[in-house]
Amino acid sequence: MIKFIKRKIKDIKLENALLIEGLPGIGHVGRLAAEHLVHEFNGEKFLELYCYDFPPQVLVKDDGTIEYMKADFYAIKEPKHMIVVLGNTQALTPVGQYHLAEEIVKLGIEHGANFVYTFGGFGIGKLVKEAKVYGATTSKELAEKLKEHGVIFRNDGGGIVGAAGLMLLFADLNNIPGICLMGETPGYLIDPNAAKAVLEKFSKLENIEINMEELEKRAKSMEQFIERIKKFEEETLKALQKPPSDEDLRYIG
Amino acid sequence: MIKFIKRKIKDIKLENALLIEGLPGIGHVGRLAAEHLVHEFNGEKFLELYCYDFPPQVLVKDDGTIEYMKADFYAIKEPKHMIVVLGNTQALTPVGQYHLAEEIVKLGIEHGANFVYTFGGFGIGKLVKEAKVYGATTSKELAEKLKEHGVIFRNDGGGIVGAAGLMLLFADLNNIPGICLMGETPGYLIDPNAAKAVLEKFSKLENIEINMEELEKRAKSMEQFIERIKKFEEETLKALQKPPSDEDLRYIG
Amino acid sequence: MIKFIKRKIKDIKLENALLIEGLPGIGHVGRLAAEHLVHEFNGEKFLELYCYDFPPQVLVKDDGTIEYMKADFYAIKEPKHMIVVLGNTQALTPVGQYHLAEEIVKLGIEHGANFVYTFGGFGIGKLVKEAKVYGATTSKELAEKLKEHGVIFRNDGGGIVGAAGLMLLFADLNNIPGICLMGETPGYLIDPNAAKAVLEKFSKLENIEINMEELEKRAKSMEQFIERIKKFEEETLKALQKPPSDEDLRYIG
Amino acid sequence: MIKFIKRKIKDIKLENALLIEGLPGIGHVGRLAAEHLVHEFNGEKFLELYCYDFPPQVLVKDDGTIEYMKADFYAIKEPKHMIVVLGNTQALTPVGQYHLAEEIVKLGIEHGANFVYTFGGFGIGKLVKEAKVYGATTSKELAEKLKEHGVIFRNDGGGIVGAAGLMLLFADLNNIPGICLMGETPGYLIDPNAAKAVLEKFSKLENIEINMEELEKRAKSMEQFIERIKKFEEETLKALQKPPSDEDLRYIG
């Protein structure tokens, strides 16, 4: 067994809530999307979850206080009841990943959840202007609903590893539905663009409005940053291709 | 301890049943043979077994629904009572493999089994026309019976790793007999030929008739596929050996 | 779960004690500092802690008796109540490190501790004359107090791995304060200099006097040893750079 | 926790018995020595111990029956009460090694043991005519006794890994004495010579006579085998050093 410690912060009362997973993963897409919900909808932290299969360390902040490896549970009431789980780590071992997914779904249901969403990134190795959103779900009916909303399906026969996949298994074993939304992302960047695409599908599926301004700002900064990197790469390449002048040669070797 | 979750699909009543293991292994021989029994004899799924030592992921199907890492238990009534276990994975760790083999045998006995068969492949690194069948068993009497039916014994001092071997240990610890049948197979192909050889011995040992048509069709397709590969290899080799003509040379470098 | 065995040596009665961790780590700084406290203040061993996640071996001493992998708990009464934990190993696995930190804090609290100190080294890859002391703590108030005493904070966003970090987590989960003091150290030496710097801060924070003579002697021996190594390295380098004489050349090749 | 299964073969009644460990290790010295005691003194198997941390496999014998990964417990009554543990494997993981050593000592004590002996090899990388015997023990008094009998002590500051070491820890935690005897051995051979040296010390310490004939026969066969290998190596070396004749050159390249 893997041991857990739960630290209760406050009592909450939710019903028919969506349980939303935002642990670190590819492109940090899931984490960014879930975090955005907490900010936009004033999520209140009500529980901290510690796991003995998390990295055996504490992090040190600039002010000398420490930050723990944990998963924080936030309650949202408007526009819908939601429990959003934000964490700074996944479990380290395969067995730990099973126990963690089980524990998060169990805690979600205990606090009023009856539907599971996991958000993640689908690594495609390159940047795209419009990130497509791939989906996977526990039932054929929900698959139809995803299709109607422009969510596409993977046909690479691949899998969803870690909490994003296993929480669907534990949703199913607890007889509640689950949906995973994966935004296309390069995989080597923290990607607010993919997070935004995932939240757009989520907002349509759940019929709620989400103000994307903050994510758009972050996406814009990132594009400008990438533009500057590209420019620098082009100039460096040109300089390397030009035949060296006499002056240059004096500095080589 | 490794944790398991059992999802009951339906009630079944069997007696003196054979428990047959078909988890993935060398050449997928065991899996193919066990699967063939389920198809031929209309096995009914009655239980799903999830294990926290399975790969921590879910698989995504083309239709957007997910498939879990699990072992499915099928009940067969005619021509004999059988419980066939089909899975898409073995346990990941050595300790997990012990617990899984123990759990499968325990569930088998709980549902009426009193004899264990494990099917597998014996990797020989090449294709053969007639796959020999090697055997191993929990008692000398059964070893004699295997010999009488043309099952041969290994003399390489080797072992049987994973569920195929450990289920014989747990059969023995539960005082029921166990037999492992291993069909010769290259090891790098999914091999319906070896599965057919294993089932032929099984049918003789258990005195039942098994229609092998579907396995034979698959074996034939595979042979044609291998023929085409061989031909392609020969032609490629010939082309590489022929001295390049003037025309060829113009394209090289 | 990881199993522990506790061997009680004697009964002790302490109140409001400081729990001080001295397990092996970078530069053995924590171990040296904690050991120094036990020597200076006549610590009495009252408990031995064995852990199944410690290295699976015993050590053989020159006199033929064996030494075990364990953590020894010492009680100090003057100048303050302290429980000092000295060990010859950390736990081997991440999960084991969680369980060990939890167990040490639990035993400390059971025996009267209400404040946790962990000592360690902060590896900087080179020798320094005056080792700075970095700190991390469970609360903002304590961070302020550390700052007032000249303890500085890291800004590398890094972490504290193992018992030194996790004991702060378990202090916090048990609602008692915790401080980690890390002395700058090369990382490739056992460093009494860094241990002394850590104890100087500790003595100021706790308002007690600690005679550093023994640590200073060890620091001096170490400096002399390093001086001799440096000299030898310089002479070797000079010899390699001098062009070989005819005599030398006769011996080459 | 690591799970065990015990299969009782028969009831036995022993008192003040020596518990002797013979699991596989360096040079198989411990295994050979313990096996020799079982043969010479007609040990009766009374228990089989299975462990979920043993290799997850069964071994196949030439006659088609299988052999399990396990530890067999033998009872000896004359010349002294002894429980000898022979196994074909050690536990795979560090935690498993702790649990296994604990379980073996516990079972030994339950069946009448009050003194633990572990036998092993001390790898020295070369063959020796007379194998020295190194010792390690749980108390100073026993260390003196070992010295009087010509057992020497290691001064390499090293350890004893696995069951041979950990069983001394669990002997000590159960307040019974323990001795480890290690015969010098190359490390790359199964070494009846070292086993014989260890048993000679054991027979002196316990004041019993042990007929070494069978071990001596095995040692002689091994020496002859090594002589033939040496001769072959010398002749091969000579042939490689002789300048090739014209005849030889015609075959090269």
Closest C-alpha to A177, from A105, A121, A119: A105
Most B CBs within 10 A among D6, D58, D69, D100, hence the mutation to make, goes to D58
CA-CA distance, A118 to A87, in Å (whole number)? 13
C125 touches chain D (CB under 8 A): no
User: Within 10 Å of residue C230's Cβ, how many Cβ atoms?
Assistant: 11
With beta carbons less than 8 A apart as the criterion, state whether C190 and C205 touch: no
Q: What is the CATH number of the domain that holds B195?
A: 3.40.50.10900
Q: What are phi and psi of B201, to 5 degrees?
A: -65, -45
Instruction: Give me the sign of the Cα torsion angle A238, A242, A246, A252.
Output: positive
Shortest alpha-carbon distance between residue D245 and chain C (Å): 30
CB contact under 8 A, C136 and A52: no
Candidate from B95, B136, B139 with C-beta closest to D60: B136
Closest C-alpha to D24, from D62, D47, D55, D65: D55
CB contact under 8 A, B165 and D7: no
More confident residue, C60 or B242: C60
pLDDT tens digit sequence for A193-246: 899 999 999 999 999 999 999 988 877 877 787 788 778 778 777 777 766 665
Query: How many domains in chain C?
Result: 1
Would you state the pLDDT for residue A56? Answer: 97
Q: Give me the torsion for CA of A99, A101, A105, A111, rounded to 10°.
A: 80
B47 touches chain A (CB under 8 A): no
CA closest to B7 among chain A residues: A173
**Cβ within 8 Å of D, C 93-122:** 93, 96
What is the residue-wise DSSP string for C54-97?
S-SEEEE-TTSBEEES-EEEEEE-SSS-EEEEEES---SSHHHH
Could you tell me if residue C74 is inside a domain? Answer: yes
Question: What SS3 state is found at B48?
Answer: strand
Instruction: Using an 8 Å CB-CB cutoff, list chain D residues near B1.
Output: 1, 3
CA-CA distance, B144 to B148, in Å (whole number)? 6
Amino acid at site A119: F
Closest C-alpha to A92, from C97, C105, C168, C53: C97
With beta carbons less than 8 A apart as the criterion, state whether B29 and B198 touch: yes
CA-CA distance, C177 to A198, in Å (whole number)? 42
D50 touches chain B (CB under 8 A): yes
- Region B79-91: mean pLDDT is 97
CA-CA distance, A153 to A163, in Å (whole number)? 19
Would you state the pLDDT for residue B247? Answer: 53
Shortest alpha-carbon distance between residue C72 and chain D (Å): 15
CA-CA distance, C187 to C29, in Å (whole number)? 9
Angle at CA of residue A126, ends A125 and A130, nearest 5°: 125
Q: What is the ipTM of this complex?
A: 0.88
pTM of the model as a whole = 0.90
Most A CBs within 10 A among B3, B49, B60, hence the mutation to make, goes to B60
Candidate from D7, D56, D96 with C-beta closest to B166: D56
Containing H/E element for B72?
strand B71-76
Instruction: Using an 8 Å CB-CB cutoff, list chain A residues near B66.
Output: 136-138, 160, 165, 168-169, 180
3-state secondary structure chain A: CCCEEEEECCCCCCCCEEEEEECCCHHHHHHHHHHHHHHHCCCEEEEEEEECCCCCEEEECCCCEEEECCEEEEEECCCCCEEEEEECCCCCCHHHHHHHHHHHHHHHHHCCEEEEEEEEEEECCCCCCCCCEEEEECCHHHHHHHHHCCCECCCCCCEEECHHHHHHHHHHHCCCCEEEEEEEECCCCCCHHHHHHHHHHHHHHHCCCCCCHHHHHHHHHHHHHHHHHHHHHHHHHHHHHCCCCHHHHHHCC
Tokens 């791939």 belong to A134
Instruction: Using an 8 Å CB-CB cutoff, list chain B residues near A53.
Output: none
pLDDT tens digit sequence for B204-216: 999 999 999 998 8
CA-CA distance, C128 to C130, in Å (whole number)? 6
Would you state the pLDDT for residue D251? Answer: 46
Could you tell me if residue C148 is inside a domain? Answer: yes
Could you tell me if residue A150 is inside a domain? Answer: yes
Closest C-alpha to A26, from A124, A153, A136, A120: A120
What is the residue-wise DSSP string for D30-59?
HHHHHHHHHHHTT-EEEEEEEETTS-SEEE
CA closest to C92 among chain D residues: D94
Could you tell me if residue A89 is inside a domain? Answer: yes
**Cβ within 8 Å of B, A 133-192:** 135-140, 143, 146-147, 151, 153-155, 157-162, 165-166, 168-169, 172-173, 180
Could you tell me if residue B157 is inside a domain? Answer: yes
With beta carbons less than 8 A apart as the criterion, state whether B21 and B164 touch: yes
With beta carbons less than 8 A apart as the criterion, state whether D160 and D178 touch: no
Would you state the pLDDT for residue C7? Answer: 98
Could you tell me if residue C227 is inside a domain? Answer: no
Shortest alpha-carbon distance between residue D67 and chain B (Å): 9
Could you tell me if residue C17 is inside a domain? Answer: yes
Q: Which chains touch A (3 or more CB pairs under 8 A)?
A: B, C
pLDDT tens digit sequence for D36-84: 999 999 999 999 999 999 999 999 999 999 999 999 999 999 999 999 9
More confident residue, A181 or B247: A181
Shortest alpha-carbon distance between residue C161 and chain A (Å): 4
Taking chain C (253 residues) in consecutive chunks of 10 residues, what is each chunk's mean pLDDT? Answer: 95 97 91 95 98 96 96 98 96 97 98 98 88 96 97 90 97 98 90 94 97 88 76 78 60 43
Instruction: Give me the sign of the Cα torsion angle A143, A147, A152, A156.
Output: positive
CB contact under 8 A, C138 and A55: no
Low-confidence ranges of chain D (pLDDT < 70): 242-253
Which token pair is C246?
């005819």
Would you state the pLDDT for residue D245? Answer: 61
CB contact under 8 A, B166 and D62: no
- Region A86-96: mean pLDDT is 96
Could you tell me if residue A244 is inside a domain? Answer: no
State which residues form the domain around D108: 4-212
CB contact under 8 A, D155 and C62: yes
Most D CBs within 10 A among C57, C88, C100, hence the mutation to make, goes to C57
Q: Bridge partners of D144?
A: none
Most D CBs within 10 A among C9, C58, C59, C97, hence the mutation to make, goes to C58
How many angstroms from the chain centroid is the CA of residue A22? 5
